[in-house]
Amino acid sequence: MSELAALTEELVSIPSHEDETAAGDAIEEWLRAETDADVTRDGAGNVIASRGTGSGSLALVGHHDVVPPDASQLDGDDYVVYEEDGRIYGRGTADMKGAVAACMHAFRDADPSCELLFASFVEEETGGHGAKYAIENGFVPDHAIVAEGSTNYSKEGVTDVVVAHRGRRGSTVTTRGAAAHASEPEAGKNAVYGACDAVGVIRGLDAPVAEVLGQDLSGSIVVTGIKGGTAKNVIPAECSLTVDERTVPGAHIDLGAVEGVDSVEWAVDDEVPPMACDDESFAETVLEAAEDAQDSDPELVTKPHATDAGWLAEAGTTCVVAGASEPGQAHTMTESASIDVLERCYRLYRGTAERL
């Protein structure tokens, strides 16, 4: 087993869906043992390390929290981890402890042409709280590769370079009416009917499209929940819609249009920003490293999922996303990562650090 595969299995074996502390401890201990870097553990539990000097800075960024495992991925309280047919299986292999391990090895082995940083954040899966904490406390590198999945986005077997991804805005649309006995519907005002009118407005909204370094990225909007009514025989006085909006750099869907419906209110519950690479030369540098790291022909592409790159880009860091996870792997009961692709990502990260 390769050194990188062994580290991946070690990290994946550590439960981190409820408490990331033990996984962070393992990452911190490895960095202190294997490198002469300045390693810190901030107040949120993020592990951050730096080494090298030079013009500018490059960060290799991941996260060590995971979503809750499927029952089949547990053996008691332990995570099940195994290798089969050149892939490592287990919760967090794809999203994203395998890529974290690749970043750790690249951080150790590179002869950087700049200040090289490593960061593994906590709470990425629950809103990016670790990334936000680090940024608020001064972690704003000049450039970053966020090691989320980019493999198979252009074609099978290729690890691409993502130059833009969607963000997410979650909203609640509330309609208000007046309760009455259901036998006399005209005596009340049915909030569910108002919600239906609001759904009609939402379905008619146009999603914006952004162009980033020649790549198009489209937004989307969908109603994902509806709740209203108190009893079978009562006209509902209130109804709420849950709305999932995928945003693009520089634009939102005009969801405020629902307030044109009588007695409708709209409120934003949470938002994760999109990402757009603002420096074509950096994207091309990472692409050159990706080309040298594999026999296939990688491309500049976009990604539908939000990542911590959105928070970093919003703070002023020039970002791309490149990583081992393939579509359909993250958050599944059969989650896995290819060892060959993890090695490829290691070469990509190291190659960028030595080129920048």
**What residues act catalytically?**
65, 124
* SS3 per residue for 254-311: CHHHHHHCCCEEEEEEEEECCEECCCHHHHHHHHHHHHHCCCCCCCEEEECCCCCHHH
Is the Cβ–Cβ distance between 49 and 107 less than 8 Å?
Answer: yes
- For the chain, strand residue ranges (E) read 38-41, 47-51, 57-63, 74-75, 78-79, 82-84, 87-89, 115-121, 143-146, 161-165, 167-176, 209-212, 215-218, 220-228, 238-247, 264-272, 275-276, 300-303, 318-321, 336-338
Structure tokens at 133: 């904490």
Question: Which among 282, 328, 275, 281 has a CA at the least distance from the CA of 306?
Answer: 275
Q: Residue 181 in 3-state DSSP?
A: strand
